[in-house]
C-alpha cells in the first residue's frame, strides 16, 4: 500500500513538473513610431507593432486615435488595424500628414492599442506624433524625459554615468529631448536649481555649438567621466561639477540665452529618497514614474525605458 501511494505521488509530481515546463511565456505586443515629429507638408511616419516572441498563431490589433490633430482631416493612416502573421515578430502601418493652408499651429496625433487578440499588452501602449504646421513659423519644443537627482548609494547601483565610481553629485543627470522636427541650438542655455536661480549663478552653461537634431537627446551629468554610448545622445557634464538637485524638494529650470524659461521640472512631488531616476512611461508622452516601476533598471540615461535609442 505504501509503495502504491508513493508511486502515485511521484506520478503526480512528474505530471506537474512537465506541465510547469510546458507553460508558454506570454506573448507581449508593443507599439513604436519611427520618428516623433513630421511636417504637415508630405510628412509620413511608420508605426510598428512588435512582439517579444514568434510563438503565436496570429495577432490582431485594433487601434484608437486621439490628440489635437484629427484623423482624416490632419492625417490619415494606411490601415486602422494591424495583423502580425503567425511566426512573424512585427508589422507596421504608415501615418501620412494632410497638407492644408490653415494657420492652425502644431498638432499632435496619438495612436494606441484599443484591443489585441492573440497576445497581451503591458499597460497602455501608445505613440505620439507631432505634426508641425508649415503655415506658421516652426516652434521648438524641448522636454525632460528622465531625471535622476537621487542615485542609489548601494555599491555601484547608482553609477549612472558608467565611470565605475558612485558619486551622489556626479551621477545626477537630466535627459532632454528635442521633440520637434527642427534642430535646436542650445548654445549658452543655462541650468539652475532653486538656490542657483536665486543667486543667478547657473549650475551648468551649455557650451557653444551644442546643436540637438530633431528627435535628438542632450544628456547632462553632474560630473565624472561618462562612459558608454548612452543611445548616441549628446553627453555633457555640469560646468560646475554639481547640479545640486535636492531630493528633499527642488526645481530644475532651463533658460535660454535671453533668460526666458524653456522647461522646468518640479522635484518636490517626487521627493522622498527614490534612489533611482524618474522617467516618463511611455517615453516622451507618459507621466513620470520611478524607473523601476516597470523595469528592473534604476535608470536609462540617453535611451528609452527598454534601452533602445530614441
Question: What's the chain's average pLDDT?
Answer: 89
Q: Please determine, for residue 2, whether its predicted confidence score (pLDDT) is greater than 50.
A: no
Cβ burial of 210 (10 Å; 0-12, 13-18, 19+) is middle
Distance, CA of 17 to CA of 23 (rounded, Å): 10
The pTM of the full predicted model, rounded to 2 decimals, is 0.72
Among 148, 277, 159, residue whose Cα is nearest residue 224: 159
User: How much is the pLDDT for 36?
Assistant: 83
pLDDT at 11 exceeding the cut of 50: no
Q: Where are the domains of the chain?
A: 29-132, 142-293
Q: What is the pLDDT of residue 220?
A: 98
pLDDT for the residue numbered 20: 44
- Specify the DSSP element, H or E, that contains 289: strand 287-290
In CATH, the number for domain 142-293 is: 2.60.40.1260
Cell numbers for 115, please give them: 484591443
Q: Is residue 21's pLDDT more than 50?
A: no
- Coil, helix or strand for 61? strand
Q: What does the pLDDT read at residue 284?
A: 85
For 215-261, the pLDDT digits (tens) are 899 999 999 999 999 999 999 999 999 999 998 889 999 999 999 99
CA gap 80, 133 in Å, rounded: 24
pLDDT digit string, tens, across residues 61-91: 999 999 989 999 999 999 999 999 999 999 9
Look at residue 110 and tell me whether its pLDDT is greater than 80: yes
Nine cell digits for residue 199: 543667486
Alpha-carbon Rg for the chain in angstroms: 24
- pLDDT value of residue 18: 47
> Does the N-terminal peptide bond of residue 134 adopt cis geometry, omega within 30 degrees of 0?
no
Q: 177-214: per-residue pLDDT in tens?
A: 998 878 899 999 999 999 999 999 999 999 999 999 98
CATH class given for the domain over 29-132:
mainly beta
CATH topology agreement for domains 29-132 and 142-293: yes
128-162: per-residue pLDDT in tens? 898 988 877 666 789 999 999 999 999 899 999 99
Amino acid at each position: 500500500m505504501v509503495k502504491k501511494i508513493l508511486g502515485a505521488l511521484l506520478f503526480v509530481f512528474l505530471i506537474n513538473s512537465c506541465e510547469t515546463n510546458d507553460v508558454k511565456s506570454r506573448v507581449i505586443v508593443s507599439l513604436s513610431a519611427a520618428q516623433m515629429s513630421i511636417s504637415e507638408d508630405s510628412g509620413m511616419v511608420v508605426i510598428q507593432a512588435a512582439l517579444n516572441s514568434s510563438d503565436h498563431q496570429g495577432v490582431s490589433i485594433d487601434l484608437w486615435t486621439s490628440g489635437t490633430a484629427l484623423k482624416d482631416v490632419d492625417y490619415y493612416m494606411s490601415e486602422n488595424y494591424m495583423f502580425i502573421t503567425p511566426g512573424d515578430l512585427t508589422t507596421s502601418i504608415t501615418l501620412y500628414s494632410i497638407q492644408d493652408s490653415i494657420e492652425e499651429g502644431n498638432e499632435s496625433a496619438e495612436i494606441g492599442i484599443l484591443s489585441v487578440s492573440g497576445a497581451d499588452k503591458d499597460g497602455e501602449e501608445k505613440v505620439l506624433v507631432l505634426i508641425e504646421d508649415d503655415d506658421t513659423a516652426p516652434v521648438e519644443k524641448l522636454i525632460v524625459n528622465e531625471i535622476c537627482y537621487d542615485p542609489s548609494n548601494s555599491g555601484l547601483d547608482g553609477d549612472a554615468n558608467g565611470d565605475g565610481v558612485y558619486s551622489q553629485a556626479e551621477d545626477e543627470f537630466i535627459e532632454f529631448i528635442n521633440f520637434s522636427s527642427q534642430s535646436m541650438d542650445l548654445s549658452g542655455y543655462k541650468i539652475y536649481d532653486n538656490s542657483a536661480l536665486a543667486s543667478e549663478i547657473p549650475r551648468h552653461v551649455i557650451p557653444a555649438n551644442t546643436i540637438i537634431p530633431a528627435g535628438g537627446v542632450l544628456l547632462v551629468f553632474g560630473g565624472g567621466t561618462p562612459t558608454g554610448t548612452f543611445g548616441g545622445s549628446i553627453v555633457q557634464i555640469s560646468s560646475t561639477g554639481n547640479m545640486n538637485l535636492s531630493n528633499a524638494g527642488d526645481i530644475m529650470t532651463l533658460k535660454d540665452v535671453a533668460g526666458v524659461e524653456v522647461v522646468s521640472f518640479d522635484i518636490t512631488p517626487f521627493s522622498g529618497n527614490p534612489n533611482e531616476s524618474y522617467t516618463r512611461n511611455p517615453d516622451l508622452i507618459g507621466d513620470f514614474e520611478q524607473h523601476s516601476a516597470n523595469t528592473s533598471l534604476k535608470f536609462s540615461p540617453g535611451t528609452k525605458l527598454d534601452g533602445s535609442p530614441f
